[in-house]
Amino acid sequence: MKKGSVLGFLKDNYLIILIFIVGVIPRFYDLGGESVWYDEAVSITVSKLGFADIIKWVFDNPAETNPPFYYMILSFWVPVFGDSEFIARVPSAVLGSLSIFAVYAVGKLLYNKKTGLVAALILATSVFHIRYAQEARGYTLMVCLMLVSYYCLLQLTIKNRTMYAAAYVASTALLVYTHYYGVMIILAQNIFCLTLLIKYKKIGELGIGGWFKLQVITALFLLPCFVFLAVIALKIQKGFWISEPTSEDIWQYFTIYSGSIYLLILFLAFSLYSVIGLRKVKDSKRAKKSLGPASERPGALGISQGWRLYMLLLWMLVPVVVPFLISLVSSPILIFRYTIGASLAFYLLASNGIGNMNNRWPILAAAGLIVLFSYFNISAYYKTVGKHQWREVMSHIESNARSGDVIVVSPIYERITAAYYNRRKDIKIVPLVKTFPSFEGLGDGNIWFVFHAHPESRKNTREGLGQKYTINEMSYYKLDLFQLREK
């Protein structure tokens, strides 16, 4: 690239580059600062298996409800670079950072450059997304694939090109192979496209045949995944740990997406402004024309402003409302982190409201408020312990345990987290025995009992074990440690 070209590129894109840097810093800062928790320990452990064993794990483990794609990506990373907290989280941090560029591209294509920049700023400084960029799970992979899927869909409304069709199929299929909530995105896209097809017989340059072909090819790629989804559905029906949601939870989800009640109010206000300030095409006849030749369309896209709003609303609501309704009539499946994709549409909607302001000073003021409130959120995030302190617990045990001591963990599934941190081969990790509160048959050494912290369970454990054992209690975030020695 020539010097002039580089300078021209920087001149045109310096703002998104600055926003990207602003977003990268908090995603990598103190990346290994907290312990891994159970879900991350599962990711790291499963990533050390071969492909066939990863698939077997997904099928056989009753608690596993994730398709295998993220584990497969991590299986290329962990065996080569290591399994420390920092290293295991790097792919998530990288994908979370790349999502900033992706949401900018979607916002710019959907509306304009201002909208793309504001959406990128919101995502870059979102404590919600920073949190999951610092976790060895597949949520930032979901975000990236989702944005690529929507970007390609929007490009296909401009021109039905093979490159975008292939990228759409690949990103959409891999989204479902990453998490079963990817089905909700396919549902939202199909509701949107079918509505347009019924009304106008085409989606921009993409006709009925083109869209049908895309969905058939995507479905063919997803045939193996349908088996995973069926197995996951059976596991959930047998009983799952998620509690039944309430209508208040949905409001709470949008507060979580925003990071604080102040940002929620700000985003809702600008989302409302985006709706109120919607510039309709003159009449329904003109709207119909907007789906015709490129020269007659409003802007680059083959869909009008009203249909863009409709697309965002479906993107925002379907991943939340549909699982909510399913949870009311069947086993609950709704949890806020699974709906992370809905936050992207919310950010884009608010960004369009900000971008609709013609004067630069109100836009800068809105951007300043977003950065200010987000700074407080991010600062509080780094000052607060958010994950179970397994590293600290196991470090204390390993520093003080004698050879032959036993670690007992409760609940039983936490053995995988304890094993991740256990470096001593002379200490066994065992599940809670059926004879609790007695620990017979575990030898004469110390018993290190680790369980999820709760005042009631702490009290009951103390009362149940106090008569037979001398207890040395230690409390950590979300974990209690009892050192037990027979009297």
Give 168-197 as a 3 state SS string: HHHHHHHHHHHCCCHHHHHHHHHHHHHHHH
Could you tell me the sign of the dihedral formed by the alpha carbons of 99, 101, 105, 110, in that order? positive
What pLDDT, on the 0 to 100 scale, is given for residue 475?
94
CB contact at 8 A, 334 and 242: yes
Between CA 96 and CA 104, with CA 99 as vertex, the angle to 5 degrees is 150
Reference 89, options 8, 38, 33; nearest CA is 33
pTM: 0.92
What pLDDT, on the 0 to 100 scale, is given for residue 75?
96
Phi, psi of 283 (to 5 degrees): -155, 180
What string of pLDDT tens digits covers the 487 residues of the chain?
566 677 878 888 999 999 999 999 999 999 999 999 999 999 999 999 989 999 999 888 877 888 999 999 999 999 999 999 999 999 999 999 999 999 999 999 999 999 999 999 999 999 999 999 999 999 999 999 999 999 999 999 888 889 999 999 999 999 999 999 999 999 999 999 999 999 888 888 888 888 999 999 999 999 988 888 888 777 777 666 778 888 888 999 999 999 999 999 999 999 999 888 765 434 344 444 444 434 334 345 778 888 999 999 999 999 999 999 998 988 888 999 999 999 999 999 999 999 988 889 999 999 999 999 999 999 999 999 999 999 999 999 999 999 989 999 988 899 999 999 999 989 999 877 766 666 777 777 889 999 998 888 888 888 888 888 889 999 999 999 999 988 7
Q: How many CA atoms lie within 13 A of 487 on its CB side?
A: 8
Q: What single DSSP character describes residue 290? A: T
Within its chain, how far is the Cα of 19 from the centroid?
21
Q: What letter represents residue 182's amino acid?
A: G
